[in-house]
Amino acid sequence: MKTETSATKAGADLWTTVLAYLEVTKPRSVFLLVFTALATMIVAQGMYSPLAPLQFAAALVAVTLACAGANAVSCYIDRDLDAAMERTRRRPIPAGRISPPVRALYWGLLLFTSSLILGWLLNPVAFACLWAGMLGYVGVYSLWLKRRSSWNIILGGFSGGVPALFGWAAVSGKIDLLPVLMAALVVLWIPNHIWSLAFFYREDYARVKVPMLPVVCEARKALHCLLSTVVLMVAFSLLIYLAGPWGRIYLVTALLTGAASLALSLHVYLHPTPQNAWRLFKFSSPYLFVLFLSMMLDAWL
């Protein structure tokens, strides 16, 4: 009986550890970024020689490992902030589920190194995209700008568009105008996503002195910047239609989701409450998912 109890406890502890190492990679963030890469891969497959199934799978695994590794390294860098913020104090490192914290760093570097090996086997441009993503997110955003500049998410957000570039490069071996526009759409989506969250958690960010724009600027000015990026984001979604081989599915989706995003952003601008900012934040991820899903459907049909 005692042996069974010990075995059960050991199994539960192992499962808790596995979940902690999965959670530190921020799976929801990884899923959305990898989905943008998958969409560009499928679109590129219709314009270039399709990848063999094994190569296609290797590319998906590579971008997944790269995003997960970068997130884990970022969580290690931000462990002091996460421990002090109400929103993040239950993450694996501040909660003590990964201890010592340096194990998260090693885990992230292992994942990223594995992604580089797969990227190199694909082609040099895809390999370079993986490096650019890590340097942009960890180097530019987490280590340099996050704690220093209110424009951190603008300059550091370029890494968010890299998975879309990677997906195209994995298939074609080069970068064209269309994937640049698709990546730019993601980059312009990031301020809407992050600033609406920061507006809701304004006091939390202020307490740890992270200079997000809604924290350090007067609310109206910050919301004006947010609305401006949404207008640009919707404009780029229509530029993508003009630059790509799309049918009605993508165009209708871009128009409908763009109108909804503009309406929600304008509502927050006119009625700047934390609850309205939260609704905009919750809408932002489905917006990007549905838009890239429509690209995939258009490419298939």
> Do 147 and 245 fall within a single domain?
no
Query: What pLDDT is attached to residue 156?
Result: 86
| pLDDT attached to residue 98 | 97
**pLDDT reading at 60 higher than 70:** yes
pLDDT, tens digit, 9 for 90 and up, residues 9-34: 666 778 999 999 999 999 999 999 99
> What is the value of pTM for the model shown?
0.94
CA separation for the pair 108, 118 (Å, rounded): 16
Residue 3: pLDDT band by 50, 70, 90 thresholds?
Answer: low
In a domain, 186, yes or no: yes
Residue labelled with tokens 């970024």 = 33
Does residue 297 lie in a domain region?
yes
Q: What is the mean pLDDT of the chain?
A: 95
> Looking at the predicted structure, is the pLDDT value of residue 8 above 70?
no
Whether residue 3 lies inside any domain: the answer is: no
pLDDT of amino acid 155: 86
Does 4 score more than 80 pLDDT? Answer: no
Interval 256-275: pLDDT, tens: 999 999 999 999 999 999 99
Q: Indicate if 101 and 87 belong to the same structural domain.
A: yes
The answer on pLDDT for 1 being more than 60 is no
* 207 found inside a domain: yes
* Number of folded domains that form the chain: 2
Q: Is residue 71 located within the same domain as residue 151?
A: yes
Q: Which of 144, 175, 206 is the last residue of a domain?
A: 175
Give the range among 7-16, 41-50, 217-226 with minimum mean pLDDT.
7-16
Mean pLDDT for the stretch of residues 194-201 = 96
pLDDT at 95 over 60: yes
Domain match, 158 and 208 both: no
How do residues 154-187 score in pLDDT, each as one tens digit?
888 899 999 999 999 999 999 999 999 999 999 9
- Could you tell me if residue 5 is inside a domain? no
Predicted local distance difference test score (pLDDT) of residue 123: 97
Q: Are residues 52 and 147 in the same domain?
A: yes
Listed residues 159, 175, 191: the one ending a domain? 175
Residue 248 domain boundaries: 176-301
